[in-house]
Chains A and B, each alone.
Chain A
Amino acid sequence: MRIELDKRFLRAAALLLIAAAAFIGATFIFGSGSAAAGTVEPVPPGTSTSTLLVQNVINGLAFGVLLALASVGLSLIYGTTGLSNFAHGEQVTFGALLAFFLTTDQPVSIPLVPGTFTIGLPLWLGAILAVIIAGGTGWLQDRFLWNPLRRRRVAVLQQMIVSIGLSLALLNLLQWWMGARRVRLTASSGDRITFGNFYIGTQTLMSVVIAAIALLAVALFLLKTRRGRATRAISDNPALAAASGIRVDGIIRLVWVMAAALAGLGGILLALFDQGVGFDSGARILLLMFAAVTLGGLGQAFGALVGALVVGVVAEVSTVIIAPDMRYASALGILILVLLVRPQGILGRKERVG
């Protein structure tokens, strides 16, 4: 592993930390008390554009951190196996819907099993269980689908289309399971912390802090542990990694479990941030995750972070200029523009990608 590589990782991690620290710090320094949502509207109509801009940057950074958490797994999978996993969006939705399933006090059911029941765990316990089960689905997927495909030496593009099929199947399975309704993980929409002209929801703040901690844990894993180093080695050169005695299949299994668990956690936090989740929530942000991963540099674990922050901020800030229902379009537009000038992405290595 070249030193230069580590520097780049560190720089990216530092960037994220500074952003997160500034964000959280600003909240507490300016935070002058919380107001119940809806009673005080901190940004009244007719506020100056710059105020609106800052508020949008705040929202964008929050969304970006959550998006980063959801897309780190996509990037790790791409890095180690070369697969663009189109079913990652469903993995995100699954985490959130599973958390709802475990925590709600409404009656729930499972496809093909007649009858309804309630589980009603507390949210924190349900969320932890959901993340663990989501990680388990990653293990199952790799054990019974992706590992056999790799063994059969199925081409990566073929695997990509398999993931598209899986995405279609899972999306409709989720719709079958939960119906087309939108569900909420918490009944309350939470308080807002206001500081000056700006505000941030306490739920959003909590989500962002949890996401930042999880991202930090991933960064430490990749940089400091033997398995993390092995993961990066496989991303760098799978054949060489295998030749130096790294158990490639074992590491890839681990990456799948991590990716699915992180996607599940990201889904739960995004559901808190969005105040709701439907069967297609993950599918809606799948392309934003791809944009984040591609922007940062395909296969660069920390690239997903940088890319996600850019995507989040661009999506939110662009609402100052264009209609809010087109904000995802602008983020995808940025993706295409960046590919024009820097196809390897922001953190990508300069190499021929053709």
Chain B
Amino acid sequence: MDILINALDQMLAPATAAFAIAAIGLNFHFGLTGLLNMGQAGFMLLGMYGYAISIREGLPMWAGILVAIGVAMVFGLLLGWPTLKLRGDYLAIVTIAAAEIVRYVGRSNSLIDITGGSLGIKGNDYKDPLESLSPFPDERITIGPLTYHGSASDSWWLRVVAWTLVAALLVIFWRLSNSPWGRVLKGIREDEDAVRALGKSVYWYKMQALIIGGVIGALGGIIWAHGSAVVADSMGRPTTFWIWTILLMGGAATVFGPVLGSVLFWSALSLVRAVSKAFIPESILPSTAIEPFGLMLVGTALILIVVFRPQGILGNKRELAFHA
């Protein structure tokens, strides 16, 4: 029973919402446009830094969000400028390299006064503005089997904000993907040359998709930061790969794919951990090995999904973006 409650807790957690948001951003890149952005964690990290540093330096909350968005836009422009004219795997290598640059710079000791080095920025420095907006009482509240604080840190309030944002972004994705603009993006995904022949600027449309998805990733980063802390190493390459797993599992180019993927990913990870702890003896699977064991299954799941059901759970095989 505890195992199921833990899984339920993971389903609703702010981290799950944050990854769903990042995967919605990636859905703009990969699902709609077919761009291989392997640096979504970099966008998230920049969003976190932009927001947390602005708040720490005394800017109001809206300004912090604007800074995060602005930083992600600039990052997207910089990445897209050299690579969007090149073959898809160049974008993949450049985005993953750039995301790693952000992480290396962020965790470097030489910028410790700004980014906090490898220890990062403490939650107290930036969580206040959002938490002070909370309408919930300042105490622990129990609903059904779940108990969280009303407004501080990993709270009911953060859950409400995070999932509202997810819902809003889903509506935006749904409207945009069915708009004339979204149809151009899908056209680029299916056949770039055909769209170019229609007189559209493929380069500029790709750039727009890259920037919008990246900004959404940065928003996901802000939500993640409120659930835990701003630490560069939590946004390394594995994070980007998890977001890909989430998107591909749920189904690329679908509206609900990222959310379904994120909920399944995190609850399944929690279930694997709990079940292997409870049923596999210590001599075969020591407790230190449970975390790697779970993540090894994630990697295996990613392989199996891509090979056997590349369209994901909700996807449509005809809307598949894997054209080299």
Show the binding face of A for B, using Cβ within 8 Å: 82, 84, 111-112, 114, 149, 152, 154-158, 160-162, 164-173, 175-176, 179-180, 283, 287, 290-291, 294, 298, 322-323, 325-326, 328-329, 332-333, 335-336, 339-340, 343, 353-354
Contacts and interface: CB of A to CB of B under 8 A. Distances in A.
For the residues of B in contact with A, the DSSP-based class is helix
Contacts of B105: 326, 329
A164 B247 CA distance: 14
Interface of B: 36, 81-83, 85-90, 92-94, 96-98, 100-101, 104-105, 107-110, 237-238, 241, 244-245, 248, 283-285, 288-289, 291-293, 295-303, 306-307, 310, 322-324
A154 B307 contact: yes
B96 to A, nearest CB: 6
B284 A165 contact: no
B99 to A, nearest CB: 10
A172 B310 contact: no
A288 to B, nearest CB: 9
B87 A353 contact: yes
Given A114-B284, A162-B307, A353-B87, A169 B94 contact: no
B100 A165 contact: no
Contacts of A173: 292, 296
Contacts of A168: 238, 241, 295-296, 298-299, 302
Contacts, number: 145
Given A326-B108, A339-B82, A339-B90, 13 more contacts: A111-B289, A158-B307, A161-B306, A164-B241, A166-B299, A167-B299, A169-B298, A169-B300, A171-B299, A176-B292, A176-B296, A335-B97, A353-B90
Given A283-B237, A353-B87, A354-B86, A323 B110 contact: yes
Given A158-B306, A283-B237, A339-B90, A164 B292 contact: no
For the residues of A in contact with B, the DSSP-based class is helix
A287 B236 CA distance: 12
Contact of B302 (A156, A164, A340, A353): A164
Nearest to A149: B307
B303 A326 contact: no
A155 B324 contact: yes
24 contacts: A114-B283, A114-B284, A154-B307, A156-B324, A158-B310, A161-B244, A165-B299, A168-B238, A168-B241, A168-B302, A169-B299, A172-B293, A179-B288, A287-B100, A290-B96, A291-B93, A325-B109, A326-B110, A329-B105, A329-B108, A335-B97, A336-B98, A339-B82, A343-B90
Given A170-B299, A325-B109, A155 B323 contact: yes
A149 B86 CA distance: 25
B319 to A, nearest CB: 14
Contact of B93 (A161, A290, A326, A354): A290
Given A287-B97, A353-B87, A166 B303 contact: yes
Contact of B83 (A157, A164, A339): A339
A165 B297 CA distance: 9
B293 A329 contact: no
Contacts of A84: 89, 92-93
Contacts of B88: 157
A165 B302 contact: yes
A241 to B, nearest CB: 19
A176 B283 CA distance: 13
B101 A329 contact: yes
Nearest to B81: A340
8 tightest A-B CB contacts, nearest first: A169-B299, A168-B299, A165-B302, A323-B110, A165-B303, A172-B292, A329-B104, A172-B296
A283 B82 CA distance: 25
Contact of B85 (A164, A291, A354): A354
B306 A165 contact: yes
Nearest to B302: A165
